[in-house]
Structure 1
Amino acid sequence: MKEQTFNLIKKALLVLALVPAFAMAVQAQRIASVDVSRILESVGEYKAAEEELDKMASRWRQEIAQEYDKIKSLYNRFQAEQVLLSDEARRQREDEIMNKEKEVREMQRKRFSPDGDLFLRRKELVQPIQDRVYAAIEAYAKERGYDFIFDKGGSAGMIFSNPQYDKTEDIINRLK
């Protein structure tokens, strides 16, 4: 029992001796967070760009809704006159309605898809502002000695990282 206690005390002393050594070896990393959304909202140009994009999107949605109303009107008229039409006239009307629907879907895709007009305009208006904000964050991090800066308000996650802590190449080399 006495020997067991002695071994326990030896282990505890060893741990206590090693803790300060590890503490000195570990360099503290400086971490900060920012709310990029709040920063962007504080930039007047960003607000103006968002307003322009909202107006543009609203106008395009309205145009598309009007086109769908025209299609609905064509369809209702077709339903009412269908019994009076010949087979050929019926097929022509059906084709006309289907083609019109196809045109409107294409208009929607052209305006609102990930490679559509709205996305391209957003990139054109907002991207330079975002780039300026990220450059300011990076400069701030370097000036103040931060190793990592996270976006606490959005889904961007980490927006600045000191390259010294990037161990990607080490992992790639380990996998070879």
Structure 2
Amino acid sequence: MKNLLKGAVLVVGLFAATSVANAQQKIGHINADEIFQQTTEFKTATDQLKALSETKQKEIEGMVTELQKKEKEANDLMLNQSEANKAETQTKLQTIGQEYQQMQSRIQEVQKVAQEEVGKRQQELMAPIQTKVMNAINAVAKEQGYAYIFDIGSGAAVYYAGGEDVSAAVKTKLGIK
């Protein structure tokens, strides 16, 4: 019985010590995505991606214009078709139809390649920025003695009540005003 009582006291003592230790841990929160979007590098990367997307879009629009010309050419041939030129017109229409299908396939391929290129470029541009922001968050957490920092912007924290917002310190670390 004495051993059981000693064991219970020991468990209660350990629980109380753990609770006190946990209560002393510093917890903070941040919206990392908001900070990420406020970096000058993000703005530069966004401008570069926009320019690349616009270039690719113009290229595709030029191809679509050519496709529309083929369609108009086919329509004009059909309107001007007569019994006298029926065989010749059908041959031309068949050729235009094949060219039209090839152009459609080419446009789809160019769209696919453009999307992949923009996505790859986005990853290349954004990854270093994400690393920089995460390094700044880690540095601030270590410098200011935080045990946990929850990213409330991404939904990583299911619940948080209070805590300190360390966004200002991270922005200062990154040189954001």
What is the TM-score normalised by the length of structure 1? 0.64
C-alpha displacement of 1:149: 2.6
Instruction: Report the equivalent of 2:42.
Output: 46
Give the number of equivalent residue pairs: 137
Q: Which amino acid aligns with 1:124?
A: E
Matching of residue 111 in structure 1 with residue 126 in structure 2:
no
Q: Hey, what's the Cα distance between the residues in 2 that align with 1:70 and 1:36?
A: 46
Q: Which amino acid aligns with 2:51?
A: K
Provide structure 1 residue ranges, at least 5 long, that are not aligned to the other structure. 1-18, 159-176
Q: Percent identity?
A: 26
2:105 to 102, 107, 128: 102
Matches within 5 A, 1:1-176: 24-26=17-19, 27-28=22-23, 30-82=26-78, 83=81, 84=86, 85-112=88-115, 116-153=116-153, 155=154, 157=156
Q: Hey, what's the Cα distance between the residues in 2 that align with 1:102 and 1:127?
A: 33
Q: Which amino acid aligns with 1:25?
A: T
Q: Which amino acid aligns with 2:152?
A: K
**Larger RCO: 1 or 2 (CA < 8 Å, sep 6+):** 2
C-alpha displacement of 1:99: 0.7
Q: Hey, what's the Cα distance between the residues in 2 that align with 1:37 and 1:25?
A: 34
Q: Hey, what's the Cα distance between the residues in 2 that align with 1:62 and 1:147?
A: 50
Q: Which amino acid aligns with 1:95?
A: Q
**Alpha-carbon RMSD:** 2.7
C-alpha displacement of 1:118: 1.0
